[in-house]
Structure 1
Amino acid sequence: MARDLKIYRCLDCGYVVDVIDFGKRQVITKGTSFAKTTTIADAVLVCCSKEMELLVPNTTEASSEKHLPTVKFIEGGKISVKVAHPMIEGHYIKWIAVVSGDRVERLELEPDQAPEVTFYVGDEIDVDVYAYCNLHNLWKTNIKK
């Protein structure tokens, strides 16, 4: 089973972070006796002195521009990925990533490049493909063989 990508974005500067390993949750206990409190805490990512936003990938189209990756299995343990999206300066797909099993691969794109790529997934039968639009955030398609 593929793992979900955890992508965070700074709402001020637009900086984007992919968390590779969240580690373990921390149990924090304060006080004594009847005034004791216990909380469970996850790490907080901060940029520009503010908490970063966890991006939840969209999985259905809701605008005239297309953002969802179109994915199909092809021979040789590969998948073909295309995003029918404009690729102009100021509005483009910045990257496409595939998560298959315990592997994550990402291809960075520039406005003059076509948002099309082939990834090797081997024998994996359940694959998640993400596309990140610089204006409309994160999109995800799941494909099963």
Structure 2
Amino acid sequence: MAEQFGVYRCEICGNVVSVVEPHPPELVCCGQAMTLLKAKTKEMEGEEKHVPVVQVEGNKVVVKIGSIPHPMEEKHFIELIQLFAKGKLIAEARLYPGQKPEATFLVEDASGLKAREYCNVHGLWG
């Protein structure tokens, strides 16, 4: 069964799926099971351009990717930013080449927020 809030990638075509509600059976693409991605962390090489930085101003939350802005080029960009509160996905934003590597969300409660992002070249970070 797919893991709730799991991000899966097809090793053949590169298709990426974010699971909102888990349902059996396993996720399959191109005739084989998709790979569950594990989020990389601050301790890994490349973190300065990949680890989400969460800034809270009242009920406005800005998630910027990296302490150094991440490239947003046609072949290398941030595709997805997700915001979690108390272990639940509360918001997400799709990004495209040419945009800033950040997203702004409005929330009712800004306590316990965590963010993660998916880079089309370097994978899932959080």
TM-score of the aligned structures, taking structure 2 as reference length: 0.83
CA distance in 2, matches of 1:81, 1:64: 15
Instruction: Mark the runs of 5 or more structure 2 residues left unpaired by the alignment.
Output: none
Equivalent residues in 2 for 1:26-41 (5 A)?
none
- Number of residue equivalences: 118
**Cα gap change, 1:89 to 1:46, in 2 (>3 Å):** same
Out of 54, 62, 69, the residue aligned to residue 71 of structure 1 is 54
Question: 1-side partners of 2:20 and 2:71: how far apart?
Answer: 29
What do you get for the CA RMSD once the two structures are aligned?
1.9
**Identity rate, percent:** 39
Distance 1:121 1:62 in 2: 32
Give the AA of the match of 1:16. Answer: V
Residues 88/5 of structure 1: CA separation in 2 closer, same or farther (3 Å cut): same
Mapping 1:10-89, distance limit 5 Å: 10-23=10-23, 43-60=25-42, 61-63=44-46, 66-75=49-58, 77-83=59-65, 84-89=69-74
More strand by share: 1
Determine the C-alpha separation between the residues in 2 that align with 1:10 and 1:56. 14
The CA deviation string for residues 57-101 of structure 1, in whole angstroms up to 9 with x for no partner, is: 1122412761111112112x1211111201111001012111224
Gapped regions of structure 1 (runs ≥ 5): 24-41, 141-145
Higher gyration radius (CA): 1
Taking structure 1 as the reference length, the TM-score comes to 0.73
- Find runs of 4+ consecutive structure 1 residues off by over 4 angstroms: none
* Aligned mates of 2:111, 2:82 — CA distance in 1: 16
Partner Cα separation in structure 2 for residue 86 and residue 10 of structure 1: 23
